[in-house]
Amino acid sequence: MDLEKRTIELHNLVIRFSGDSGDGMQLTGTLFSDSSALLGNGVSTFPDYPAEIRAPQGSIGGVSGFQVHIGSQKVYTPGDYCDVLVAMNPAALKANAKWMKAGGTILLDTDSFIPKWLQKAGFKTDDPIAELNLQDYRVIPAPITELTRESLKDTGLDNKSIIRCKNMFALGMLFFMFDRPMEHSERYFEQKFKKKPELIEANKKVLHDGYNYAHNIQAIANTYEVPRVEVREHGLYRNISGNVATAWGLLAAAEKAKLPLFCGSYPITPATDILVELAKRKELNCKTVQAEDEIAGICTAIGAAFAGNFAVTTTSGPGLSLKSEALGLAVMTELPLVIVDVQRGGPSTGLPTKTEQSDLMQALYGRNGECPLVVVAAKSPSDCFDMAFQASRIALERMTPVILLTDGFIANGSQPWHIPDMKDYPEIHPPIEPPRTNGERFLPYKRNENMARSWAMPGKAGLEHRIGGLEKDSKTGNVSHDPLNHQVMVNNRAEKVRMVQNMIPKQEVEGDPEGDVLVVSWGGTYGHTLSAVRALRKEGKKVSLCHVSYIDPLPANLGEIFPRFKKRVVCELNMGQFAGYLRMQFPGTAFEQYNKVQGLPFTTIELVENINKML
C-alpha cells in the first residue's frame, strides 16, 4: 500500500550523481540541472571526471561524478556536501560517501552490488552500508538495471543499448523526488537521437518508468520542492558552461571589432570545448584550425593576427609551456593575440581532469627575456563571457598578447547566465593603419597615446615593414642590435602593459571597506570565497572580500585597500603564487595564505574555519 506523500519545501539542495565512467552521470546531472534552471532555480554544477582515460570498470579510479546545487536564491558554489548521493555501483558509493551530509539520502542500483563489483571497489564485506558506517543515512535500494531491462524488453534494442538507458531510470526517480518536469529532457532526446527514433522512445519510456517507480515505492514517502529564485534582473536566461561562455565572449569581441575570428589550437583537456564551440560558428565569420601540436596552434594564430584577423589560441598548462617561445614572438612583434589557459592539475600531465590555479607564475613570467603581457582571470562560468570579451578588447586596442586564465572547475561547471544585449558592450577600435598613397614613410613602431603601435595589414599600399623575432628599431622597425635602442624597446613594451591600467575598472570590495580580515582571491575561487565571507558577515564578523580579476596590470587602487584591514589572507588553489606576486608588488604589506592543491575546489566550510582561526 502506497504511503501518503507530502511535499516539503527546501531552499537548497545538493545532489551528486556518480557511477562508472560509462554510466552517463555527466549527462544525467546536466539534464537535472538544466531542468532546474528552466524552473527558475539558482544552479551551480561541478562535473568531476576520472583522471584516467579508461580506468577498469568498477574501480575507484573510474568513478565519474556530477554535483549540482540548486537553490531558491542565487547560488555561487556547487555545494560542499550533498543531500542526495546517486551511486550506480559500489565504487561510486565508496568514492563519494565522504561527501555526504549527515542523515542524507543514498539511491543505490542494487543490481551492481554483487560480490564481483564489491571486491573490485575494495569492500571487505558484502554489506557496504555497514562497512562505511552509513546506517544513519536514508538508503533507497532499487534494482535499476533490471527494471531498465524490464522496461525495454519489447523494444527490440540490444542488451548494451538497453543497459545504457539505466541512467535515465535513475533520473526519472530524482525528477519525482524533487518535483522536476521531464519536458526538457524529452526535447533533448528528440534532438540528440533524431536519426535514431527508437532511442528517443526508449529513453522517454525509461525516464517515465523511473518516475512512476519512485511514485509507487514506499521508500520515498515525501517529495521536495525548491522554490524559484526571485529574479531581480529580468530577461532571457540560459544555463552555460565556462568553456562555452569563453567561446561566445571571443565571438562577441570579434563582432564588435568588425574582424574575422581565427582560432588555432591543439585539443587538450580541459580546454578543447572552446575550440569545438568556435568550430560550430562558421556563419559568424569564425575560422578554426585544429593544429598538429601546441606550437603550431599558436604560430598559426600569430600568422592570422599579422594578416589582420582577431586571433586566439586555447590551451591548458602543459600547452602553455610549449607555446612560451611563440608567446615571446607575439610580444616582440606586438600583435594582438588572446591565449586562453584553462588550468588543470600539474606539473607535467598531472591531473588532466582536475582543477588547479598553478599556472599563474607561468602566465606572468614563463618566457625568456623581459617579455611583459597582460594577464586576466575569469571568476565564474558566466563571467568567462565578460572576461573573454575584455581580454579581447585589451589585446586589440593595445596591440598586445593577453592571457586569459580560467580553470577546470569553472570551464566545465555551469550556472544560469543572463544573456546580455550586445548594445551594452562597447565597440572595439583596433589601431589599424590605413593605406598610404602620399609617399610618406610608415614607421611601424611609432606609438599612440596608449603606447600601442599601429596595426599594418600586409598587402596595403605604403605599409611595407619588417616583422619578426629580432629586436627592432624603436621607430623604423628595422632590425637593431643597438644597446640603447633595446633598452628603449624593453621600456616601451613594459609601459604599454602598465598603461592598460587606465582601461580596467577599479578594484571593488565585497563588504565593508575596512575591518579585521580581508580575504583576497582570484579566478575560479570566487564563489567559495564569496560564500564564506557572507557566512562570516552574517555572524557579525568584520570580514570582507577582495576578488581580483585583472592581475597584470593590477587595478590602480588595489594598494589603497590593503592597509584598511588588520589582516589579509590570500586563498588560492596552489602553494601561494598570487600571495608571492602581491608581496613583490606591495613590499612591506603582510599577506597570510590559505592554500589547497588536491585537484578540488575549496569548500565553504574549510574557508570559514580557517578565516575564523585568524579572527
Which of the four pLDDT bands, split at 50, 70 and 90, describes residue 4?
low
Question: Does residue 213 carry a pLDDT above 70?
Answer: yes
CA dist 607 and 528 (Å) reads 8
Residue whose cell numbers read 602620399: 438
Question: Does residue 190 carry a pLDDT above 50?
Answer: yes
Question: Does residue 315 carry a pLDDT above 60?
Answer: yes
CB neighbour list of residue 234: distance below 8 Å, 6 or more residues apart: none
Give me the mean pLDDT over the 223-242 stretch: 86
Which of the four pLDDT bands, split at 50, 70 and 90, describes residue 255?
very high
CA dist 129 and 133 (Å) reads 6
pLDDT one-digit tens code per residue, 59-69: 998 999 999 99
239, 409 contact by CB (below 8 A): no
Q: What is the CATH number of the domain that holds 552?
A: 3.40.50.920
Question: Does residue 223 carry a pLDDT above 90?
Answer: no
Q: Is residue 269 part of a domain?
A: yes
Q: How is 297-318 classified by DSSP, letter by letter?
A: HHHHHHHHHHTT-EEEEEE-HH
Question: Does residue 270 carry a pLDDT above 80?
Answer: yes
Which of the four pLDDT bands, split at 50, 70 and 90, describes residue 5?
low
Helix (H) or strand (E) run with residue 64 in it: strand 63-71
pLDDT value of residue 7: 80
C-alpha cell at 523: 579566478
Q: Is residue 442 part of a domain?
A: no
Q: What is the CATH number of the domain that holds 69?
A: 3.40.920.10
Of 269-278, 308-317, 414-423, which gets the smallest average pLDDT?
A: 414-423
Give me the mean pLDDT over the 127-149 stretch: 95
Task: Say yes or no: 189 and 138 in one domain.
Answer: yes
pLDDT value of residue 399: 98
pLDDT one-digit tens code per residue, 483-533: 999 999 999 999 999 999 999 999 999 999 999 999 999 999 999 999 999
Share of the chain above pLDDT 90, in %: 91
Q: Is residue 494 part of a domain?
A: no
Task: Say yes or no: 101 and 46 in one domain.
Answer: yes
Task: Say yes or no: 165 and 84 in one domain.
Answer: yes
Q: Is residue 568 part of a domain?
A: yes
Question: Does residue 474 carry a pLDDT above 80?
Answer: yes
Question: Does residue 53 carry a pLDDT above 90?
Answer: no
Question: Does residue 3 carry a pLDDT above 50?
Answer: no
Domain stop point among 171, 204, 225? 225
Q: What are the Cα distances from residue 577, in Å, to 364, 377, 604?
A: 10, 14, 21
Task: Say yes or no: 104 and 154 in one domain.
Answer: yes
Task: Say yes or no: 261 and 398 in one domain.
Answer: yes
Which of the four pLDDT bands, split at 50, 70 and 90, describes residue 273?
very high
Task: Say yes or no: 211 and 331 in one domain.
Answer: no
Beta-sheet pairing, 515-522 with 543-548: parallel
Helix (H) or strand (E) run with residue 263 in it: strand 261-265
CA dist 349 and 285 (Å) reads 34
Q: Is residue 485 part of a domain?
A: no
pLDDT value of residue 356: 97
Task: Say yes or no: 34 and 165 in one domain.
Answer: yes
Give me Rg for the CA atoms of the chain.
27
pLDDT value of residue 219: 67
pLDDT value of residue 131: 95
pLDDT one-digit tens code per residue, 92-101: 999 999 999 9
Which of the four pLDDT bands, split at 50, 70 and 90, describes residue 165?
very high
C-alpha cell at 94: 565508496
Domain stop point among 424, 454, 481? 424
pLDDT value of residue 2: 45
CA dist 580 and 570 (Å) reads 10
Give me the mean pLDDT over the 359-387 stretch: 98
Q: Is residue 68 part of a domain?
A: yes
Task: Say yes or no: 387 and 263 in one domain.
Answer: yes
Task: Say yes or no: 168 and 195 in one domain.
Answer: yes
Task: Say yes or no: 132 and 251 in one domain.
Answer: no
3-state secondary structure of 355: coil
Give me the mean pLDDT over the 293-307 stretch: 98
553: DSSP letter: S
Residue whose cell numbers read 609617399: 439
Which of the four pLDDT bands, split at 50, 70 and 90, describes residue 450?
very high
Count Cβ atoms below 10 Å from residue 483 Cβ, excluding itself: 8
- Break the chain down into helix, strand, coil percent, rounded to 5: 40, 20, 40
Q: What is the CATH number of the domain that holds 418?
A: 3.40.50.970
pLDDT value of residue 133: 94
Name the amino acid, one letter, at 542.
K
Task: Say yes or no: 140 and 59 in one domain.
Answer: yes
CA dist 307 and 287 (Å) reads 13
Domain stop point among 392, 424, 456? 424
Q: Is residue 483 part of a domain?
A: no
Chain centroid offset of residue 70 CA: 18
pLDDT value of residue 471: 96
In 307-422, alpha helices (H): 317-322, 324-333, 360-365, 383-398, 408-412
Task: Say yes or no: 202 and 254 in one domain.
Answer: no
Give me the mean pLDDT over the 233-252 stretch: 93
Q: What are the Cα distances from residue 50, in Å, to 65, 351, 352, 354, 448?
A: 8, 9, 9, 8, 50
Q: For residue 564, which of 544, 583, 540 has the smallest C-alpha distance?
A: 544
Average pLDDT in the chain: 95
Give me the mean pLDDT over the 116-131 stretch: 95
Q: Is residue 459 part of a domain?
A: no
Count Cβ atoms below 10 Å from residue 221 Cβ, excluding itself: 12
In 307-373, alpha helices (H): 317-322, 324-333, 360-365
Give me the mean pLDDT over the 223-251 stretch: 90
555, 504 contact by CB (below 8 A): yes
**Could you tell me which residue, 465 or 548, shows the higher pLDDT?**
548
Domain range for residue 29? 6-225
Q: For residue 535, which of 511, 507, 561 has the smallest C-alpha distance?
A: 511
Which of the four pLDDT bands, split at 50, 70 and 90, describes residue 232?
low
Domain tally, the chain: 3
